[in-house]
Amino acid sequence: MTLAVGELYWDPFDVEIDTNPYECWRRLRDEAPVYRNERYDFWALSRFADVQAASADPKTFMSSRGTVLELMGSEMAFTNMIIFMDPPEHDSLRALVSRAFTPKRVAALEERIRDVCVSLLDPFVGAGEFDYVQDFGAQLPSTVISMLLGVPASERREVLHHIDTIFHIEPGVGMVNDISVRSQMWLMEYISEKLAERRLQPRDDLFTALVQAEIPDDAGGSRRLTDLEAAAFGNLLVSAGTETVARLLGWTAVVLDAHPEQRSEVAADRALIPNTVEELLRFEAPSPVQGRWTSRDVEMHGVTIPANSKVLLITGSAGRDERRYANADTFDVHREIGTHVTFGFGIHFCLGAALARLEGRIALEETLKRFPEWQVDHGRAERLHTSTVRGWKSVPVAVA
């Protein structure tokens, strides 16, 4: 949309703003920490402290009316996914999945994740060029989450195609379009089939854990998950665990190429890799906006957000808040980051954070082992604009 020079405007659908939102987010933090967008009827918080405080108060800032702007308010879209639930329902389901999704289960994946990285990257040694996102970044997380759940290798490509399609957005309606909805339904059906198979033949995978898991029931006893609950959970893990990590890896290629001296330093000292991943997460948040619904009037910075309002928490802006991070716009692999909110904060803190960090670390280790340098072809690189993730669809890189 066209605006008078200097007018402060932000919405999450505007492709031009999304390409480089940082100046706009800086102005939101400075000039309108409680920003109001009339056109799409939402409020936005952009400062680190406000985003963190709102995330820590799920009673006031609820998730059960949706967390993706264009899907907020309509009740039907989000039953049964913990990311769209409030306590107490959220907590019992989350406890259940945390039990299935243990640090031990995640750590046990290290070797398998490394094997996947090796098999994806080795073919490009000596090839001169490959697409860091299409050929690697998008393949790794879908393979890993599929392994974890128990999706057979032969079906992974089709599953990934539908996951990608779910994130398809159209102007004005975002993810509420036939193409996206068809793929969501396909995935739900697919997962239901797998769950039915596991009921008959349990295996050592997450699909089986989901059908065997029990949660407290209303009568004080316990019960198994319903088909819909289990399928919704599988669906959430697949969608949340794939697109986000693919975006993190795209940013890894682009940001490190833009900082070649730091890349050389990290290549020479692999102990810097975990903090590099953390700094990448702070610097370019793969999932930069989380929606909430207010249960009461909230006053902040002299502005009252009325009850029953949509509030967008811009976690991507929080990571660049100079009130929280010195030289926030500088990428620095040595930075002492402390807390960041790129994985959210509070009860909805990303369930897959340990897995995402593990994938980010091993991906970078295996990349630098083979390719200590690469050059991004910006002429052919392509951005991806969806309602939930921000990053790159295609990053062609030249390698020695």
Exactly one of 52, 146, 342, 367 binds ligand HEM (CB under 6 A); that residue is 342
Exactly one of 351, 363, 384, 395 binds ligand HEM (CB under 6 A); that residue is 351
Neighbour tally for 57: CB within 10 Å: 15
What are the helix (H) ranges across 214-323?
227-258, 260-268, 273-283, 315-318
Neighbour tally for 369: CB within 10 Å: 14
Residues 223-262 that bind ligand HEM (CB under 6 A): 236-237, 240-241, 244-245, 248
Pairing label, strands 42-45, 310-314: parallel
CB of 61 to ligand HEM, least distance (A): 9
Distance separating alpha carbons of residues 60 and 177, to the nearest angstrom:
30
The binding track of 101-140 with respect to ligand HEM, each residue x by CB under 6 A or -, is ----------------------------------------
Q: What is the DSSP letter of 271?
A: G
CB of 103 to ligand HEM, least distance (A): 13
Phi, psi of 14 (to 5 degrees): -70, 110
| 83 binds ligand HEM per the rule CB under 6 A | yes
Chain center to CA of 334: 24
Nearest CA-CA partner of 363 in 159, 109, 32, 170:
109
Structure tokens at 286: 């793969």
Cβ(383)–Cβ(392) under 8 Å?
yes
- In this complex, which beta carbon is closest to ligand HEM, that of residue 166 or of residue 399? 166
| 100 binds ligand HEM per the rule CB under 6 A | no
| 277 binds ligand HEM per the rule CB under 6 A | no
- In this complex, which beta carbon is closest to ligand HEM, that of residue 278 or of residue 366? 278
Exactly one of 174, 286, 319, 391 binds ligand HEM (CB under 6 A); that residue is 286
The residues that touch ligand HEM, with contacts defined as CB under 6 A, are 63, 67, 82-83, 94, 145, 236-237, 240-241, 244-245, 248, 286-287, 290, 315, 342-344, 348, 350-352, 355-356
